[in-house]
Structure 1
Amino acid sequence: MAENSSEQGRPLTHFQPEVAYSPEKKGPQTIEIVADPVSGEILKSGDPRDVRLWIEAERSRAEALEQKQPQLEVVRGGLLIPGLVDAHAHPFIYSGLKLHDPIDASQVETKENLIEHLREKAKEKEGGFLVATDLQTGKIRDLTREDLDRVSAENVVVYDPSYHGCVVNTRTLNEARKFSGDYERVARTKLRGEILDDGHLTEDYVYMTWEMIEAAKSVEELARMTKEEFDRSLRRGVTSLHDLELGTYNEVIAYLLLRKEMGDKFPVRRVFVQPRTYGYMQGQMDELRRLGLADQIARGEWGLKLYADGSFGTHTAMVSSPYADGHGRGAPFFTDEQLNGAIRLAREEGLDTAIHAIGDSGIQRALRLARQWRSMDVNADDLKFRIEHFELPTPTGEVMQEVSDLGIWVTPQPNFLLDYVYSDRLGERVKMLCPHREMLGYTDRVMFGTDGMPTSMLFAVWLATHAPEKSQRLNFEQALLASSLTAAQYEGENRGKLVEGQKADIIVADRKLEDILLSSAVVEDPREVPVSAAIDALEKNIQKVYLRGELVHSK
C-alpha cells in the first residue's frame, strides 16, 4: 500500500485514496492529500492532478535550491476519513479498574452464576480487590452485601454499567465507610449519594471505592495502564479525546505524569474534575511543584464536572414522569447552591463547565444552570458550558431551541441507544432517547463521545447512522461531523477536516468500512445488537492511523 522514493530529503506522505469523506462536505470525494509529519499538518489537499502538480513544483523548487528531494511515502487505495475524537471518555478511571483484572459481568444472567464466576476468579487471586463490572441490574436486581460475603472475605466490588452504583461485601463496606469519613474531614466536603447497610453504594461513595482500588497499586502502574489504553484508542482510530472526569487524586497525578512524558503526543485535549477534586489539587500545589508537575496544569485545558442527576441504571436520573417500575422520579445530585457556587468558581478560575444530565428533569436543571451561567456575562468563546449525555431531552424542540439560544454545547453518546434495555423502567420513553437528528436541526454544537460504554467511536458512528427512530438517525457525514470536527471547533483547534492547514490526523481503512457505515439497514431493537461482533466488524477494517502526519498504527 505504500512506497518510498530513493532520495532522503523532507519527509512527506502522499495519500492516494479511492475515496475520502470530510465532514464539512457532502458525499464522497475524489481527492489526494500531502501531509508533513514534521509540522504535523496537511500541506496540500484537493484534485489529484493539482496535488501531483504541487509535488512536482516542490521537487523543482528543491532542485533549484540544490536541496535534497522530498522523501515521499505514497499510501494508495482505501477509504480516508479524519481521525475521530471521543469527546466523553474516561481512560484513567477505567484503567484504574483494570489494574485488578475485573470480571465482565455483562453476559451473566443470574445472581448464582455471578457468584460462581466471582468464586472462580477469587481462586486465581492472591488477595487484593476482586472486581466485576457491567452488572445487568435489569436481570440481577437483588444482589446484596451478604451474597458477596459468600464469595470471599477479601474486598469484593461489583459495578453496574453506569458506574453510578455498585454492590460491595462487608469488608469493603466497612472500609468504604471509614475511608469516606476520612475523606470528608480532609476535603471539608459532604459526599453525595448513599452508602447502605445492604452493600449498595451510589455516586460519590462509588468514587471512594475507586480511591481504595487505586491506592492498592502505584500511580506509576496506573499511568502505564492508561498509556496502554491510549494506544488501544489509536488502533480504534481515536486520535484525541476529552477526559470527562479524573475521579481520584491518583488519577490527577497519573494524568500530569503522562502529559509531561508524552508531550504533543498526549491525546487528552480537555480534562474535567469535580469541584472537590479541584479544591484538593489547589491544596496540593506544593507537592505538585516538588514532583515537577505543577507546570503541567495548563490553563484552558481544565474544567469543572458537575452533576444534575444520576443514571437510569440506578433509577437516579431525574424524570418528569415516574419510572415505570415504581422507583420514583430520580434524585438531584449537587444542590442548587453547590451548582451556583461551582459556576462562580469556574468563571473566577477560567474553567469550562460540564454538567452530567440524563433524564428530562435533569436536563432542565442543567439548562437552568446554563441560564445562570449566561447571566454572569461570560465570554462563551473563552469559557464554555456543555451538557454531558443529554439522553432524554424532551420536549426536544423546546429544549434544543434553548440550547441554541444559550450558545452551549451538548455531548450525547449514540452508544446509549443500548439503553433500550431499560424499557422495564422507561417504557415507551426509550424511543425518545438520543434524538441526534433533531438536535442537529437546532445547533451544530453536538459532539459525540462513548463514555467507555463501549469504547468505540466507530460503533458510535454506526449506531447513530442506523438508529431505530428517524429522530435518532443521522447520515454518515452528520455522524462524522459530531465525531471529529465539532470537538476540534470546541477546542479551537485546526483538526477534523481533510484540507490544507489542518492537523494531519487521518484514518486509512478498507472500503468495507464504508459499506458498513453507509448501508441502509436500520437497527430495529438495539437490545439485539451483538456489540462485540459489531465493533470487531467495524474496527478490523482500519489499516493505518496517522497522528499529526506520523504513522502511529499499521495493521
Structure 2
Amino acid sequence: MTRLLLRGGRTLVDGRIVEADVVVDGATLAHVGSPGSGSADVVVELSGALVLPAFVDGHVHATDTGLVLTGLDLSAARSRDDVLDAVAARTRALRGRPVLGHGWDETAWPDRTLPTAAELDRATYGSLVYLSRVDVHSALVSGALLATAPAAARADGYDADGWVRREAHHVVRAVALGSVTASQRAEAQRHMLRTAAARGIAHVHEMNGPGIGGEDDLRTLLEVAADPALPDVVAYWGQTAADGGLDALRDLGAHGLGGDLFVDGALGSRTAHLRSPYADADTRGALYLDADAVADHLVRCSVAGVQAGFHVIGDAAMDVVADGLVAAAAVAGRDRVRALHHRLEHAEMLDARHVSVLADLEVVASVQPAFDAAWGGPSGMYVDRLGPERGVRLNPYADLAAAGVALVLGSDAPVTPLDPWGTVRAAVRHRTPGKGLPLADAFRAHTAAAHRAVGEAPEDGLRAGGPATFAVWRADPGDDGWPDLDSPPPTCVRTVLRGTILHDSGDLEEVAA
C-alpha cells in the first residue's frame, strides 16, 4: 500500500495551527508532526497549504440540493418578473416537463408582489410548476399543479393564487417531487455529494422524512452514498415513534428519529410558532406537535436507545419542546435522556429557560449560521417578520456555548449553500454583537462536534493513528494561522475520506520519494 507524505504545509495539532508533515498510510494517518520525521513512497508538496479535518455539514437535504444545483435556482431573482422570466426559459429547455425551482425570497425584492398561479400557467404554457421558497416551507405553484393535486384545495394553507403553505404545501410538494424519476433523483443526489466533496465536506447529516423526500428517496441516497468515492451520509428520519417511526428507522438504516420532524415551520413563510403575532401579519404561525406529543416521542426513543430530535424555530414552539424535554426526563429518567444527546434543528428563538433546559439535558443544538448572515441584523428579514426587539435576539450561539450546549453547524442546503467556511464566518461574525463564536470553536462545531453528535468521538485535530479524513486548503493566513475571514474564502484543493480521494483540483504536485 502506497504511503503518502504531505510536506510543507500547516495543520491543526492540539488546538493550534502549526507547521507539520502528514503521512497517510491507507485509511489511517501514520504520522502528524514535525517536518522531516515521516517517510513515504510518494511526496505531495503542499507549498504552505492548510491541512484540516474535513467538514461535516450537520443539516442537508441531498435531493433538493442536487435538483437546485442541476436545475432552476431562483436565489438571484429580485422581482416577480425575474421569476417569470427564469421559469419561462426553463420551460423552453424542458419541453413540457414539470418545472421545479427553488430559492426565491421576496423579502429581498423592492416590490414584493409575487407571481400568481395564473401567471405561472401563462409563462409555462400550462406546465406543472413548483417553486419552493428559500426556506422550503412554502411554494409558488401553477394552476396546472393545483389541478393535479385537488386535495390541496381542502388543506390548511391553501391559496388559489398559488402561494401554498402548511399542509397544502406538503400535498403539492409530494405531487411535484413525484414527477422526478428514480434516475434523476439518484443523479441529483450524486451531484450534491460531489459538490460537497469539492467544498471540503466529507460527511453530511441528511434530514429526510415522510413529508420531505420519502422512503424511496432516502433508500436511493444511502445506496448512492455507499460509493467510497463520495462523502458519508448519516440519515435522520422525521417521523414520530408513535406513528411507526422506530420501525421505519430500522428498516431504512437511519441513525436518528428526528431532524426535520416539524414542531413548527419557518419565519420567512410565517409558519414558525410564536408567542405573539408576527409584526407584518396577524398570525402566530403553525404548531404541528404539542408538548405531550414531543414528550411521548422523546420517551419512546429514549427507552429504545435511539437519538430523537425536532425541527423547532419559534419561541412558542421552543416552549413546547422545552416542556416536552422536561416531561420526558421525568418519565424516562434524566440520565437516560441525557445519554442519547437528542438534538434540535435550528432552535432560533431561545430564551434563558430554553438554553438552561438544553444544557441540563445535554441536547445538541444543530444550527445554521448562514441564516443569521442572510436574514439577521437591524434591517433583515427577521426584523421584518418579528419587529426590531425580537428580530435581533435570534440564534444566540455565544449564550448556548457558554451554557455548555453542544453546537453543530450546517447549511440546511438548499436553503443556504454548501459553504463551510462561509458558515464558520457567519458564526464568528454574528449580525448581533456578542452572540457569535470564536473561530476555533466555530470550526470545531463544524467538524469534531458534529461527529460527536452522532456517537463518534474524533479528536479536534489530526493525529497519528486517526482516520485519514481531511481537506487541503489554499488560504490567506490570519490570526493564529487560521484562514483570514476578511480575505477571499479558502479554496479546497483536495478532500480525503479514510484515505480515498473524494475531490482533487489538480493543484498539488506529487513526486516519488
1:273 equivalent to 2:238? Answer yes
**Counterpart in the other structure of 1:166:** 139
Deviation at 1:118, TM superposition (A): 2.2
**Counterpart in the other structure of 2:223:** 257
> Which of these residues, 472, 483, 504, is aligned with residue 554 of structure 1?
504
Deviation at 1:180, TM superposition (A): 9.8
- Map 1:468-547 → 2, pairs under 5 A: 468-495=431-458, 496-512=460-476, 518-519=483-484, 537-539=488-490, 541-547=491-497
Deviation at 1:510, TM superposition (A): 1.4
- TM-score, normalised with respect to structure 1: 0.79
**Counterpart in the other structure of 2:510:** none
**Would you say the 8 A contact 2:476–2:484 is kept in 1?**
no
SS at match of 1:432: coil
**Counterpart in the other structure of 2:88:** 119
**Counterpart in the other structure of 1:83:** 54
Residues 398 and 381 (structure 1 numbering): CA distance in 2 closer, same or farther, change over 3 Å?
closer
> Which of these residues, 92, 99, 103, is aligned with residue 63 of structure 2?
92
**Would you say the 8 A contact 1:436–1:471 is kept in 2?**
no
> Which of these residues, 115, 120, 124, is aligned with residue 148 of structure 1?
120
**Counterpart in the other structure of 1:36:** 25
**Counterpart in the other structure of 2:150:** 177
**C-alpha distance in structure 1 between counterparts of 2:425 and 2:7, whole Å:** 25
Residues 137 and 373 (structure 1 numbering): CA distance in 2 closer, same or farther, change over 3 Å?
farther
SS at match of 1:30: strand
**C-alpha distance in structure 2 between counterparts of 1:513 and 1:416, whole Å:** 26
Q: For each residue in 1:34-92, what CA deviation from the matched residue of structure 2 results, as whole angstroms up to 9, or x when unmatched? A: 2222xx2222223336x43xx4xxxxxxxxxxxxxx53434433112110000111112
Residues 273 and 219 (structure 1 numbering): CA distance in 2 closer, same or farther, change over 3 Å?
farther
**C-alpha distance in structure 1 between counterparts of 2:358 and 2:452, whole Å:** 17
Residues 303 and 492 (structure 1 numbering): CA distance in 2 closer, same or farther, change over 3 Å?
same
SS at match of 1:48: coil
Deviation at 1:117, TM superposition (A): 2.9
**C-alpha distance in structure 2 between counterparts of 1:264 and 1:494, whole Å:** 23
Deviation at 1:272, TM superposition (A): 2.3
SS at match of 2:104: coil
Deviation at 1:472, TM superposition (A): 2.7
Which amino acid is 1:165 matched to?
S
Which amino acid is 1:504 matched to?
A
Q: Which has the higher helix share?
A: 1
Give the superposed CA RMSD.
3.1
**Would you say the 8 A contact 1:415–1:463 is kept in 2?**
yes
1:12 equivalent to 2:16? Answer no
Deviation at 1:482, TM superposition (A): 0.5
Residues 281 and 156 (structure 1 numbering): CA distance in 2 closer, same or farther, change over 3 Å?
farther
Residues 278 and 35 (structure 1 numbering): CA distance in 2 closer, same or farther, change over 3 Å?
farther
Q: For each residue in 1:287-337, what CA deviation from the matched residue of structure 2 results, as whole angstroms up to 9, or x when unmatched? A: xxxxxxx6xx43746656422221111111123343222333222122445
**Counterpart in the other structure of 1:188:** none
1:384 equivalent to 2:371? Answer no
**C-alpha distance in structure 2 between counterparts of 1:520 and 1:221, whole Å:** 37
Alignment: residue pair count = 485
Q: For each residue in 1:241-296, what CA deviation from the matched residue of structure 2 results, as whole angstroms up to 9, or x when unmatched? A: 1112242233123124325x4269551124323339984895899xxxxxxxx6xx
> Which of these residues, 298, 303, 313, is aligned with residue 343 of structure 1?
298
**C-alpha distance in structure 2 between counterparts of 1:301 and 1:214, whole Å:** 24
- Map 1:405-420 → 2, pairs under 5 A: 405-417=360-372, 418-420=374-376
SS at match of 1:15: strand
**C-alpha distance in structure 2 between counterparts of 1:462 and 1:33, whole Å:** 26
SS at match of 2:395: coil
**C-alpha distance in structure 1 between counterparts of 2:249 and 2:206, whole Å:** 21
- Map 1:173-322 → 2, pairs under 5 A: 173-178=146-151, 194-246=157-209, 247=212, 248-259=214-225, 261-262=226-227, 267-275=232-240, 279=244, 297-298=252-253, 300=255, 303=258, 305-322=260-277
**Would you say the 8 A contact 1:462–1:517 is kept in 2?**
no
Which amino acid is 2:149 matched to?
A
Deviation at 1:141, TM superposition (A): 4.4
**C-alpha distance in structure 1 between counterparts of 2:348 and 2:10, whole Å:** 34
1:370 equivalent to 2:321? Answer no
**Would you say the 8 A contact 1:304–1:351 is kept in 2?**
no
**Would you say the 8 A contact 2:236–2:255 is kept in 1?**
no
Residues 300 and 381 (structure 1 numbering): CA distance in 2 closer, same or farther, change over 3 Å?
farther
**C-alpha distance in structure 2 between counterparts of 1:444 and 1:143, whole Å:** 42
**C-alpha distance in structure 2 between counterparts of 1:180 and 1:280, whole Å:** 28
Deviation at 1:373, TM superposition (A): 2.9
**C-alpha distance in structure 2 between counterparts of 1:281 and 1:198, whole Å:** 39
**C-alpha distance in structure 2 between counterparts of 1:36 and 1:206, whole Å:** 50
Task: Report percent identity of matched pairs.
Answer: 19
**C-alpha distance in structure 2 between counterparts of 1:130 and 1:92, whole Å:** 15
**C-alpha distance in structure 1 between counterparts of 2:401 and 2:248, whole Å:** 42
**Counterpart in the other structure of 1:291:** none
**C-alpha distance in structure 1 between counterparts of 2:147 and 2:502, whole Å:** 46
**Would you say the 8 A contact 1:447–1:486 is kept in 2?**
yes
Residues 366 and 16 (structure 1 numbering): CA distance in 2 closer, same or farther, change over 3 Å?
farther
SS at match of 1:29: strand
**C-alpha distance in structure 2 between counterparts of 1:84 and 1:304, whole Å:** 19
**Counterpart in the other structure of 1:107:** 76
- TM-score, normalised with respect to structure 2: 0.85
**C-alpha distance in structure 2 between counterparts of 1:227 and 1:278, whole Å:** 31
Residues 355 and 234 (structure 1 numbering): CA distance in 2 closer, same or farther, change over 3 Å?
same
SS at match of 2:409: coil
Greater shift after overlay, 145-154 or 417-426? 145-154
1:73 equivalent to 2:43? Answer yes
**Would you say the 8 A contact 2:199–2:492 is kept in 1?**
yes
Which amino acid is 2:74 matched to?
A
**C-alpha distance in structure 2 between counterparts of 1:280 and 1:407, whole Å:** 23
**Would you say the 8 A contact 2:140–2:162 is kept in 1?**
yes
Residues 238 and 388 (structure 1 numbering): CA distance in 2 closer, same or farther, change over 3 Å?
same
**Counterpart in the other structure of 2:422:** 459
**Counterpart in the other structure of 1:66:** none
Which amino acid is 1:133 matched to?
H
Residues 78 and 244 (structure 1 numbering): CA distance in 2 closer, same or farther, change over 3 Å?
same
Work out which of the two has the higher radius of gyration on C-alpha atoms and give 1 or 2: 1
Residues 124 and 360 (structure 1 numbering): CA distance in 2 closer, same or farther, change over 3 Å?
same
**Would you say the 8 A contact 2:478–2:485 is kept in 1?**
no
